[in-house]
Amino acid sequence: MQRRDFLGASALAPLFAMAQGADSGPTRFQIACMTLPYSAFPVEGALEGIKGAGYMFVAWGVNHRDGAGASRPVMPLDAAPADARLLAARCRNLGLEPVMMFSTVNFEEANAADAYRKRVDQAQAAGIPHIIVFGKTTRGSYGDVVRNLKVAGAHAKGSGVSLVVKQHGGNTATGRDCSRIIADVGEAAVRMCYDAGNVLDYENHDPIPDIQACWRDVRAFAIKDHRNFPVDEDCGAGFGEIDHYKLLLPVMRTGLTMPLACENIFEPLVPRPSSVAGVDRLARRSREYLESVLAGLERHLSLPA
């Protein structure tokens, strides 16, 4: 099959033209797994499972159950930067490079700017390039959002750390909304982590035309899928209704290094695994699915016209 035939058959021609028009060289994708799907288990088991599932990159989730069953933050907000450096070293000793972490504070909150400064310091010490930030699921306090991100973005300047705004309803319902925030903040260290699952979930908005309007601001992806039928449920990539070939095509030729961090890896309609081994199986499947998508897109983009 020639490239034009493939593109015509799959309705990707407009996206392909967009990707070609911004060709800065191949994007260096980092397929990562968040520890978030392992939140019911200790973080040590999560890291070992992610490595065993074939990943080279990891993103720190929010909370994990310890051996006694208590839920504890992966990295407390008030932890010293040295603590983040130690956790990053544990990851690297296993062969996992940490690429993202969560801010854990909504950016409408009064303490958001101070919290983000602390996270930037932690991420810089750990060598983590991206911090996921988002807001409440209802609109409002837009001026606070911009002010807090301006302060945090200025603090991050020159640190090698960016704050990446993720879709989460409210002020960040879509990629277009996130791009508006990024433009109003006007700091180079504030960019976007695209979450297609949340765009479809919170707003019932199609992420494919949405990403066409904002892909130039994207520096990372939180990978999750979503189903509206037969139930309204988030799920792992490839189990839902989102076309990841169309989703990723606009960013295939950015010349950037871009994490694709699996946030949800679970199967819809069935109970979640009760063992670490069960989560490992789904983590491996998500990695293999994304590898297949990227390999397919790369092959067809390289076919002669």
Binning pLDDT at 50, 70 and 90, where does residue 126 land? very high
Given a contact cutoff of 8 angstroms between Cβ atoms, the answer to whether 158 and 128 are in contact is no
Q: Tens digits of per-residue pLDDT, 8-31?
A: 444 455 555 454 445 789 999 999
Binning pLDDT at 50, 70 and 90, where does residue 3 land? very low
Please state whether the peptide bond connecting residue 230 to the residue before it is cis, i.e. omega within 30 degrees of 0. Answer: yes
Q: Tens digits of per-residue pLDDT, 200-209?
A: 999 899 999 9
Binning pLDDT at 50, 70 and 90, where does residue 232 land? very high
Q: How far apart are CA 296 and CA 304, in angstroms?
A: 15
- Given the structure tokens 């979930």, which residue do they identify? 201
Average pLDDT, the chain: 92
Determine whether domain 3-302 maps to CATH 3.20.20.150: yes
Binning pLDDT at 50, 70 and 90, where does residue 189 land? very high
Q: Where are the domains of the chain?
A: 3-302
The neighbour count for residue 271, using CB atoms within 10 Å, is 8
Beta bridge partners of 234: 226
Overall residue count recorded for the chain in this entry: 305
The token pair that represents 12 in the structure block? 């990707």
CA angle 267, 199, 169 (to 5 degrees): 115
One DSSP character per residue, 201-240 reads HHH---HHHHHHTTGGGEEEEEE-EEE-SSS-EEE-TTSS
Residue 7: is its pLDDT beyond 90?
Answer: no
The token pair that represents 196 in the structure block? 């297609």
Binning pLDDT at 50, 70 and 90, where does residue 68 land? confident
CA distances from 49 to 41, 126, 154 (A): 11, 21, 37
Whether the model pTM is above 0.85: yes
- Average pLDDT value for residue range 227-247: 97
Q: What percent of the chain has pLDDT over 70?
A: 92
Q: How far apart are CA 35 and CA 50, in angstroms?
A: 8
Of 48 and 22, more confident: 48
The token pair that represents 163 in the structure block? 């704050």
Range list of β-strands (E), 135-227 = 162-166, 190-194, 218-223, 225-227
Q: Which of 120, 220, 233 is nearest to 175 (CA)?
A: 220
Q: Tens digits of per-residue pLDDT, 94-112?
A: 999 999 999 999 999 999 9
> What single-letter amino acid sits at 240?
G
Q: How far apart are CA 7 and CA 19, in angstroms?
A: 13
User: What was the pLDDT predicted at 137?
Assistant: 84
